[in-house]
Amino acid sequence: MDAQQLKGHLDLLLLATLERGPRYGGQIIADVQASTGGYFSMREGTLYPALHRLEKQGFIHGEFQTLPRGGSPVKVYTLTPTGKTELTAQRDKYDRFTRAVRGVIGGPA
């Protein structure tokens, strides 16, 4: 995994993961890893500061919940309406970026 690539696209990956439904940190890490075939393997030290930043920006909302499996409450994050708008904007930005790069390096657009 290239940490710089992850850093540049972390918000997009997190917002898109939360679009699938509420998740807590461990689920987010597992979902991103599974969805990328293991290419992105996040650490908690990368994830939680990003989640706190996205929450502060109003893109996600976190709430402590006790899971059905029991144990201590965990913070479960959901995508807000503002976050859905931001996700759409970030997807568009990413699409423009990949088309531009493909214009230089070739390959399918």
Task: For residue range 42-85, list pLDDT tens digits in order.
Answer: 899 999 999 999 999 999 999 999 988 888 999 999 999 999 99
Joined together, the tokens standing for residue 40 give 């992105």
Distances (CA, A) of 51 to 34, 42, 85: 19, 12, 17
Joined together, the tokens standing for residue 16 give 């898109």
Contact indicator for 33, 83 with CB cutoff of 8 Å: no
Q: Quick one: what percent of the chain has pLDDT higher than 90?
A: 78
Distances (CA, A) of 77 to 6, 7, 23, 24, 98: 20, 20, 5, 6, 28
> What pLDDT was estimated at residue 71?
87
